[in-house]
A and B are shown apart, each in its own frame.
Chain A
């Protein structure tokens, strides 16, 4: 299993109801269903991903995330997962609201644009960064809302959300002392575990 998926796998509790947005070939949901009695759905638009999920016995729904999650009820899930899809959405901020409407907690991973190699590309070479986590050219990239580790943290703070866990990894999602010390500089991939702030009832 991909290293970021393994980390998420470990974070998800036994028996949780999970929504996996951009679930790919269903590897994560299959493992969670098999080992942890996790139930839920994957959302995907890639035909090959959908076929792979169906063949694995993972419940997958062909759905464009940009159309929102209106077909999922408030608090219907324990956790919403979204790996490497946030930066490809039209409105990542609204998706974050949607995710925390259907569940109290979400786990999000995205490429950290402030990663030193990306900075080097832009700052010294003067080109849009191309890397393992950002493999596309500027003209054909699906990643229309790139952000940094710090940007996302700021968004969570602005929204009054609670960041219960955060991690970064290099391209292979392996942590090291540098990523722990300066995550915004040395982390290639950011992983956040976010939950709703206190309800604004009072």
Chain B
């Protein structure tokens, strides 16, 4: 909790809600009859309405990307390091929109919402969402906010997939794309980790086929395990080693199975916190959206062909020790964009922090990312001068 808000913070923010009555056709064949999207905005939309930046969140993210909900909030939004006055995404220049995606568990319509057809919670009946479905719903939110074209759409990890999808589905509505620590499709290993997470959740006796709310339970053990496995993939071997090494909680070995090593304690703590704060059905759904994303599939695996509709400049960034979506995966995207003749810049940021690096401050990361956003801002100013 800050006593006073930092000068480069967007300050106190209040989530807003947009209700949509127009049914949304989904990739799975089902239709969402009506839904709510929860979102936050930072900065001001200019008169020309051309300074909007959309933030797309990752697996366990949400709409609260920057600032504080109250003076009692312990930590600011998840991307506060990069969004604020004078920061990488400068809210003195940009109008930033950040939403919670459909299927989420932070206020947007999802498995915890009431299914109007049954009067019960959707639970496991909530349709499996795809990145394409999310982007379609985001476009409707843009319509609602009076944004015809985003100055930039920005996202890391699963958020980066949404950015790619924007450039393909709505090329006329995105002026610049920033894809960070992402991949154009999951590898078998990525899907395997997701499957372990899903099995952990689904095999928890408290899961009840996804109807745990009706049973008055929560599959906390499963969700905890899922998060522990996921968390390992977010960190690098180096960063775990540097943080915990082989440190013990007490001075000696106990020859038992309670927590002994600090890394065990850390993972259990992370898992425990997550298991009470996140919804299991949402976690399952988000991992599926990751698994399914593969724009090249419809083009016989030719990613360059799939990228043909894109017509905005891309900035692609990866992190040297990210082994979840390693630099090679970003290179796949960059090489395909080059083959397709699209404008793209690529930087591989040296960082010890693994996949999590995209969330953290870093001098070079901010220099490249900030440089790109400065150019985006300059283009807006020039458009205004004409």
Contacts and interface: CB of A to CB of B under 8 A. Distances in A.
B338 A55 contact: no
A72 B338 contact: yes
A47 B371 CA distance: 12
Given A51-B367, A55-B375, A57-B313, A71 B347 contact: no
A54 B343 contact: no
B272 interface: no
Contacts of A53: 345
A4 to B, nearest CB: 24
B313 A51 contact: no
Contacts of A76: 339
Given A47-B367, A71-B335, A72-B338, A61 B375 contact: no
Among B313, B315, B345, B367, the most chain A Cβ lie within 10 Å of the Cβ of B345
Interface in A59-85: 59-63, 71-73, 76
Contact of A59 (B335, B343, B368, B374): B343
A62 B347 contact: yes
B194 to A, nearest CB: 29
Contacts of B348: 62
A126 B374 CA distance: 50
A100 interface: no
A56 interface: yes
B336 to A, nearest CB: 10
B368 A50 contact: yes
A41 B340 CA distance: 13
B378 to A, nearest CB: 8
A80 B170 CA distance: 33
Contacts of B326: none
B193 interface: no
Interface in B272-300: none
Interface in B313-345: 313, 315, 331, 334-335, 338-339, 341, 343-345
B44 interface: no
Given A41-B338, A47-B364, A71-B338, A59 B344 contact: yes
Nearest to B317: A62
B35 interface: no
Interface in B79-93: none
A61 B313 contact: no
Interface string B300-319: 00000000000001010000
Contacts of A39: 341, 343
Nearest to B350: A47
A1 B259 CA distance: 64
Task: Give 6 nearest A-B pairs by CB, closest first.
Answer: A55-B371, A71-B335, A54-B371, A61-B346, A51-B367, A59-B343
Given A47-B368, A72-B338, 9 more contacts: A39-B341, A50-B345, A51-B368, A58-B345, A60-B345, A62-B347, A63-B346, A71-B335, A73-B339
20 contacts: A41-B338, A47-B347, A50-B368, A54-B315, A54-B345, A54-B368, A54-B372, A55-B372, A58-B345, A59-B345, A61-B334, A61-B344, A62-B346, A62-B347, A62-B348, A63-B346, A71-B335, A71-B338, A72-B338, A76-B339
